[in-house]
Structure 1
Amino acid sequence: MRNRSKRLFDVTVSGIALLLLLPLLLFAALWIRFDSKGPVVFKQRRIGKNKQPFQVLKLRTMIDRSPAEIDQVNERVIVNDRDPRITRSGRFLRSTSLDELPQLWNILRGDMSIVGPRPIIPEQLEVIPREFESRFEVLPGLTGLAQVRGRRSLGWLEQLKADTEYVHRYGFFYDICIILKTVVVVIKGSGIYGREAENWRAYRDRVKAQDGQKR
């Protein structure tokens, strides 16, 4: 019953939001098209519920690169909006989180939910400790508990703890609370850049180093 009501809420809200935001999406698409070469929509393979892969959609905010040019294992983390990989339109889209709006279509398709753990890239699967596997029991979200607690300023393990906490607590009013907090976070623009905390790559390297010392 809880999952059915959540799905009904997702379909209703995402459908209405897509209709209302269509003019804004069209404007953003034109801006991206004239601002830099490449597709308007960026597609990326992500891991969703039950570890099933799907294609997440985002408005492109970076220069167009082929999959062969993107090394997810060693990709340098974006720490500010002056990164040369970010386009002019991308700076604004990232600062307002408008680049995430195409994921409303992912929600309508059933790949995602409005609230849930953020979908991870396949390379992150190997650095998720077993105690956090429950994050895959629900659909990934457009926003989530980790996003309202600090977004990228949270360390990797802190993000995973927030994800699993959400899985055990989620419900209609809890989701509404997270959505309202998300609005505040987006308006403030907090947590978009700056990874002073340990990200997943740094965590992976630390664990590998510790394993090497034990041997």
Structure 2
Amino acid sequence: MSQLEKFDAIYQRACERKGGKEVLESLIDKPLSPQTLAQIDESRYLAEFTKKVFQSGFVWRVVENKWDDFERVFFEFNIQKILLMPDEMLEKKATDPSIIRNYNKVKTIRENAIMIDTVNREHCGFAQFVADWPTEDIIGLWAYLKKHGARLGGNTGPYGLRTIGKDTFLLSNDVVAYFTQWDIISGSAQSKRSLNAIQASFNELQQQSGRTLQEISMILSRSVGDNYF
């Protein structure tokens, strides 16, 4: 594995590509604090996971346009109400023309509600569970969602976490291309070996910069690829 590039070099290149420091910084968002994350209602976690499941392999804009109907049809993603839904009700709701009619994806709503409810009972609540998960092992949280949730593997779970406000990097095409170009990884970015190498690299960049994983990820993605003005 090659030596990792210094954060300062990555940052400088991103500034040059985006038109200066002020412009770059205006494009960088920060995650929520753990304290804020812990206060988010668990229904919002289920809602974000569901939205990302439906957006996966589909036109994101269409899902956004129908989202108010998703909220209505699925009881604002109230966990306890979702848990009480029998198969027959799920099947019926999957035929509702106001949402995207995909029964296999609709089933994940109850399955992911079960995951959240299980964490609620075994830990100190799902929101607190996510808030407390150490960012230096964020790929461990990805793995948990993949194993215990439904259709939350690949980029789906991480994108859901990012949207809700959990500090995480993302394996965007530019980020993957960067680590491949620098010989940090080879082959699939989703392999255990690649994920560990990428996590270790982000941890090192975080120690150098003092920034969050999200900030580093967004800066790095703007330092490579075809994202000039």
Give the structure-2-normalised TM-score: 0.28
Hey, which of these two has a bigger chunk of strand by percent? Answer: 1
Specify the structure having the higher radius of gyration (Cα): 2
Higher relative contact order (CA 8 A, sep 6+): 2
